[in-house]
Amino acid sequence: MEFNTKNYDYLIVGAGPFGMIFAYEAAKRGKRSLIIEKRPHIAGNTYTHTEHGITVHDFGAHIFHTDNKEVWDYVRQFATFNGFQNQVIANYKGSLYNLPFNMNTFYEMWGTKTPQEAKDKIEEQKQAALKDLGDRQPRNLEEQAISLIGTDIYEKLIKGYTEKQWGRKATELPAFIIKRLPVRFIYDNNYFNHRYQGIPVGGYTQIFEQMVSDSNGLIDILTDTDFFDHKETLLSEFPRIIYTGMIDQFFDYQYGELEYRSLRFESEVLDNDNYQGNAVINYTDAQTPYTRVMEWKHFDGLADDGKTIITREYPQDWDRTKEAYYPVNDERNTQIYKQYAKIARQTQSNILFGGRLGKYRYFDMDQVINDALNTVRQEFNIPQDFNFAHDKIESNQ
Ligand code: FAD
Ligand code: UDP
Give per-residue pLDDT as tens, 65-93: 999 999 999 999 999 999 999 999 999 99
pLDDT of 396 above 80: no
What integer pLDDT is reported at residue 221 of this predicted model?
98
Ligand 2 proximity of 151 Cβ (cutoff 6 Å): no
In a domain, 185, yes or no: no
For residue 394, is pLDDT > 90?
no
Q: Answer yes or no: are the C-beta atoms of 27 and 218 closer than 8 Å.
A: yes
Query: Is residue 393's pLDDT more than 90?
Result: no
Position 390 confidence tier, pLDDT thresholds 50, 70, 90 = confident
First-residue to last-residue Cα distance in the chain:
34
What is the overall mean pLDDT for the chain? Answer: 96
Ligand 2 pocket residue status of 45, Cβ below 6 Å: no
pLDDT at res. 395: 53
CA of 368 to the centre of ligand 1 (A): 9
If asked whether residues 231 and 128 sit together in one domain, one would say no
By most ligand atoms within 8 Å of CB, the mutation choice from 38, 45, 193, 316 for ligand 1 is: 45
Q: Is the C-beta atom of 97 inside 6 A of ligand 2?
A: no
Q: How far is the CA of 359 from the centre of ligand 1 (A)?
A: 12
Q: Are residues 163 and 119 in the same domain?
A: yes
Which ligand 1 atom minimizes the distance to the CA of 354?
A: 52
* Mean pLDDT computed over 156-162: 98
The CATH number of whichever domain residue 225 belongs to comes to 3.40.50.720
101-138 pLDDT, tens digit each: 999 999 999 999 999 999 999 999 999 998 877 778 89
Residues 148-169 have a mean pLDDT of 98
Whether 26 and 111 share a structural domain: no
- What pLDDT was estimated at residue 131? 83
Q: Which of 148, 178, 208 is the last residue of a domain?
A: 178
The answer to whether residue 323 sits within a structural domain is no
User: At residue 211, does pLDDT exceed 50?
Assistant: yes
Establish whether residue 282 lines the binding site of ligand 2, counting it when its CB lies within 6 angstroms of any ligand atom.
yes
For residue range 90-104, what is the model confidence (pLDDT) as tens digits? 999 999 999 999 999
> What pLDDT sits at residue 7?
96
Query: If you average pLDDT over residues 237-254, what whole number do you get?
Result: 98
Whether the predicted pLDDT of 219 surpasses 70 = yes
Contact 173, 140 (CB under 8 A): yes
Range 372-377 average pLDDT:
98
Mean pLDDT across the stretch 312-328? 97
Domain assignment of residue 369, given as a range:
5-84+198-255+328-396
Residue 369 CA to residue 72 CA, distance in Å, equals 10
The percentage of the chain sitting over the pLDDT mark of 70, rounded to a whole number, equals 98
What span, in angstroms and rounded, lies between the C-alpha atoms of 62 and 199?
8
Half-sphere exposure of 341 (CA within 13 A, CB side): 12
Residue with CA nearest ligand 1 atom 33: 60
Please list the alpha-helical segments (H only) found in 279-362: 297-300, 331-347, 355-358
* Closest C-alpha to 388, from 72, 81, 82, 80: 72
Residues 76 and 29 in one domain: yes
Assess whether 249 and 340 both reside in one domain. Answer: yes
Answer yes or no: are the C-beta atoms of 337 and 360 closer than 8 Å: yes
Q: Give the residue among 386, 382, 356 at the shortest CA–CA distance from 16.
A: 356
Q: Over range 257-271, report the average pLDDT.
A: 97
Q: How far apart are CA 256 and CA 389, in angstroms?
A: 40
- CA 149 to ligand 1 center in whole angstroms: 31
Percent of the chain, pLDDT > 90?
93
Count of CB atoms situated within 10 Å of the CB of 283:
21
Q: Are residues 74 and 10 in the same domain?
A: yes
pLDDT exceeds cutoff 60 at 397: no
Could you tell me if 33 and 74 lie in one domain? yes
Whether the Cβ atoms of residue 80 and residue 200 lie closer than 8 Å to each other: yes
Residue 90 in contact with ligand 2 by CB distance below 6 A: yes
Task: Please give the pLDDT value at position 130.
Answer: 87
> So which residues are the catalytic ones?
180, 184, 261, 292, 313, 362, 364
Using the atom order of ligand 2, give the atom closest to the CA of residue 162: 11
The confidence score (pLDDT) of residue 303 equals 67
pLDDT band with cut points at 50, 70 and 90 for residue 391: confident
What's the count of helices (H) and strands (E) in the chain, helices before strands?
13, 16
Select from 86, 91, 95, 181 the residue to mutate for testing ligand 2; criterion: most ligand atoms less than 8 Å from CB: 181
Tally of domains within the chain: 2
**353 found inside a domain:** yes
Q: Which of 315, 310, 314 is nearest to 278 (CA)?
A: 310
Cα of 394 vs centre of ligand 1, distance in Å, is: 27
Q: Ligand 2 centre and the CA of 328: distance in Å?
A: 13
Nearest CA, atom 52, ligand 1:
355
Please state the length of the chain.
397
List pocket residues of ligand 1, CB cut-off 6 Å. 13-19, 36-39, 44-46, 59-64, 226-228, 244-245, 263, 325, 355-356, 363-366, 368
* pLDDT, tens digit (0-9, with 9 covering 90-100), for 8-35: 999 999 999 999 999 999 999 999 999 9
Strands 241-243 and 10-13: parallel
Residue 271 lies in a domain: no
